[in-house]
Amino acid sequence: MDVDWTEDNFSVLRDWQIKQVAYVPDAGHADLIKRCDEAEDMRLVPLTTEEEGIAVLAGAWLGDQRGVLLMQSSGVGNCINMLSLARVCRFPLLMMVTMRGQWGEFNPWQVPMGALTPTVLEGAGSLVFPVDDPAKMGETTNAAARMVFEGPTQAAVLIGQAVIGAKSFGK
Amino acid sequence: MMQKLNGTLDRNRATDYPLRRREVVAQLLADRGDLMVVAGLGAPVWDCTAVEDHPLNFPLWGAMGGAAALGLGLAMAQPDRRVLVITGDGEMLMGLGAMTTIGAQQPENLSVVVCDNERYGETGMQLTHTAGSLDLPAMALAAGFASAAAVSSDNEFKAALPAIRAAKGPGFWSIKIKAEDNPIGAMPPKDGVTLKDRFRAALLGAA
């Protein structure tokens, strides 16, 4: 059975009334970004660096809007100090991280942050939900979102390369 | 003889700027109505708190580089209310990308004011890049801000005040202030949850 995990994630974001979709893109997020762009009640907020998104979403919550931060694993390393904002103030922070450097990666420069991503996030006080089975994507994102917005807390769904498919650049 | 450490940075000029930060911030916040304020870490937090420890201030004790981006998220969530970010030059420089993210979003209700003393004031008054030729308002305009200006005299500041509070944004002002040490004075609560909860209660009503 084919699983449209992007559509599953989009449905979860819509159910949780996500309004601000902050992102630094990744190929693995491309379909979700497109889907959110088509949704009239969601606003795309492209960032120059991932840490901006943590501050943007803190402001969104102060103003009573929910958001999500989309990034790839290399971007997690850009976020460390700004994650203290979410932790100290207990801002709800839902992160969706596409993994690179993890499973069949062809680019060795992606490997260090790929390997460090769960450690860095947990060290910064985030819950981490790895997903390697596309069929579990939607329910995992929903579980993370519930803890984020009803906690509040911060949580990251790690979308494994086994889900996305290892990037090859056609090689 | 000491210039070799700082390239083209000018270590003297900001000591002669006539505007004083406490008076500037007091005027920015006078008769604030329902204005929402984000204060960047360091002296802008003390300046804002010296006026009033107001629940619609969100003072940052950390998260350096995040003030303008936080103001953006708030402005997008509350498009009918004015958001004023008051931060320092060092804090703004750490988050320059946010300037371009704001330019991309065009929040009409957002003003960003940098109290620019050309110094890292909390760490020993080391020079920042604005002590050189860096032109923050020019960068803001290039990033897509609707308006941006440098302010360096009392007349210019008084003329800019109505726009800072009400002009169609996003707007950016670099207010050149005298490089001076001030006593910290009143501090806002340090507890982030308290700051967040009281802000939301003041904006949205009791949870």
ipTM above 0.90, yes or no: yes
The verdict on a CB contact (< 8 Å) between B74 and A62 is yes
Query: CB of A54 within 8 A of CB of A69?
Result: yes
Neighbours of B139 (CB within 10 A): 18
Is B183 or A49 the better-scoring residue by pLDDT?
A49
Please tell me the distance from the alpha carbon of residue A159 to that of residue B25, in angstroms, as a whole number: 45
| A5-164 belongs to CATH 3.40.50.970 | yes
Name the closest residue on chain A to residue B80, using Cα atoms.
A63
In order, the DSSP letters of A63-108 are TT-EEEEEEEHHHHGGGTTTHHHHHHHT--EEEEEE--SSSS-S-G
Q: Cβ distance A85 to B63 under 8 Å?
A: yes
Chain A, chain B: beta-carbon pairs less than 8 Å apart: 121
Does B76 sit within 8 Å of A65, measured CB to CB? Answer: yes
Q: Which chain A residues are within 8 Å of B199, Cβ to Cβ? A: 62
Asked if B203's CB is within 8 angstroms of A67's CB, the reply is no
Q: Do A89 and B192 touch (CB under 8 A)?
A: yes
Average pLDDT (A52-73) is 98
Nearest CA distance, B99 vs chain A (angstrom): 10
* Domains annotated on chain B, with CATH: 3-154+167-204 (3.40.50.970)
Q: What is the pLDDT of residues B19-66, one digit of tens each?
A: 999 999 999 999 999 999 999 999 999 999 999 999 999 999 999 999
Residue A121 phi/psi, 5-degree rounding, is -65, -45
> Are A126 and A95 a contacting pair, CB within 8 Å?
yes
Q: Which residues of A touch B60 (CB under 8 A)?
A: 85
Which residue, chain included where needed, has tokens 């501050």? A55
Residue A60: which of B61, B66, B73 has the nearest Cβ?
B73
Q: What is the C-alpha to C-alpha distance for residues A88 and A82, in angstroms, rounded to an integer?
A: 10
Report chain A residues whose CB lies below 8 A from the CB of B84.
Answer: none
**Average pLDDT rounded to a whole number, residues B73-77:** 98
Q: For A4-62, what is each residue's pLDDT tens digit?
A: 999 999 999 999 999 999 999 999 999 999 999 999 999 999 999 999 999 999 999 99
Reduced 3-state DSSP string for chain A: CCCCHHHHHHHHHHHCCEEEEEECCCHHHHHHHHHHHHCCCCEEEECCCHHHHHHHHHHHHHCCCEEEEEEEHHHHHHHCCCHHHHHHHCCCEEEEEECCCCCCCCCHHHHHHHHHHHHHHHHCCCEEEEECCHHHHHHHHHHHHHHHHHCCCEEEEEECHHHHCCCCCCC
The partner residue sitting opposite B101, judged by closest CB among A19, A52, A61, is A52
d(CA A166, CA A139): 23
The rounded mean pLDDT for chain A is 94
